[in-house]
Structure 1
Amino acid sequence: MNAAEELIDIVDENDRIIGQLPRGEAYARGLRHRCAFVLARDAEDRIFVHRRTPTKLVFPSLYDMFVGGVVGAGETYDDAALREAEEELGVRGLPRPEPLFTFLYDDGAGRSWWSSVYQVRCELPVSPQAEEIAWHDFLPEDEVERRLSEWTWVPDGLVAYQRLMAHRRRATE
């Protein structure tokens, strides 16, 4: 089954499930669904950054500092975060990602999804999916910050990253 045929939960403005549809149809109709975002750091505390392949259904060829993706029909955010992180990083035996916060992403142009943000430590050698990831590296956080204005990032990941930085500042105040 290709990604467009994958069944996903459709949710309302309060993140309650109101139906299920194939992903491609949900995207075409601009229906709200669920996504998991996982910030993966290596043993040296560097952030896994990648460029998406040009064949991705959403935001092809853009950079992202999160791995993750759409939550499948009947799947929990937590299970999707682990599944997606292991799939995209190409690892098995990853620790369960730590949930941080959830927010509603809405670009005002028909792209809207509930987004659950996680973090995980990945000390395993990565072998990212070639069909998902065109380029990758673990970058120090200061380099990620420097690249924010230089590279074209997925808009939802950029919003999630900005919210994560604000979340971290609040936690240290």
Structure 2
Amino acid sequence: MNPADEILDIVDAHDRVVDRRPRGEAYALGLRHRCVFIQARDTAGRLFVHRRTATKLVFPSLYDMFVGGVVGAGESYDGAALREAEEELGVTGLAQPEFLFKFLYDDGAGRSWWSAVYEVRCELPVRPQVEEVQWHAFLPEEEVEQRLGAWEWVPDGLAAYERLRAFRVGR
């Protein structure tokens, strides 16, 4: 199936479903939907970082420190988190990612989605989807921090990363 044809739940400012539309239409019209962000770490605690392919519908060729994507119509955040993590990392049998928090991402320019943030440990060898991931590596968090100003990152991932840092400090 073409990703633009995937059906998404359209939600309001309180994350209540108000409609269902194809992904391409939701993006084109700036309709609020749901996404999951999963921070994957290897056994050494390093973060999975990747560069998106140039063919992605949103934020092509940018770097990201999360795997994830849209939540399909009728799908739970938890279900989408596991599905997306396994798809993007190219693994099966991953543990259920741990839910941390949810926030409303809004770039002020017509892109808005409810964003559920998760974390998972991946002890399996990764084989990312070539359609989704152009480059990948597990990097120490200090290196990710150093590259924040040097690489062009997906803006929603940066927003999630900043919130995740604040969340961890507040624990």
TM-score by length of 1: 0.99
Partner residue, 1:68: 68
Paired residue type of 2:2 = N
Tell me, which stretches of 5 or more residues in structure 1 are unaligned? none
Specify the SS of the correspondent of 1:105. Answer: strand
Q: How many corresponding residue pairs?
A: 171
Q: What is the distance in 2 between the residues matched to 1:106 and 1:17?
A: 17
Partner residue, 2:155: 155
For residues 56-84 of structure 1, give each alpha carbon's deviation from its aligned partner in whole angstroms, at most 9, with x where no partner exists.
00000000000000000000000000000
Paired residue type of 1:117 = V
User: How far off its partner does 1:148 sit?
Assistant: 0.4
User: How far off its partner does 1:149 sit?
Assistant: 0.5
Specify the SS of the correspondent of 2:83. Answer: helix
The question of 1:48 aligning with 2:48 is answered yes
Partner residue, 1:132: 132
Tell me, which stretches of 5 or more residues in structure 2 are unaligned? none
User: How far off its partner does 1:139 sit?
Assistant: 0.1
Paired residue type of 2:42 = D
Specify the SS of the correspondent of 1:127. Answer: coil
Partner residue, 1:94: 94
User: How far off its partner does 1:44 sit?
Assistant: 0.3
User: How far off its partner does 1:3 sit?
Assistant: 0.4
Partner residue, 1:4: 4
Q: What is the distance in 1 between the residues matched to 2:104 and 2:169?
A: 20
Q: What is the distance in 2 between the residues matched to 1:30 and 1:147?
A: 30
Identity of paired residues, percent?
Answer: 73
The question of 1:113 aligning with 2:113 is answered yes
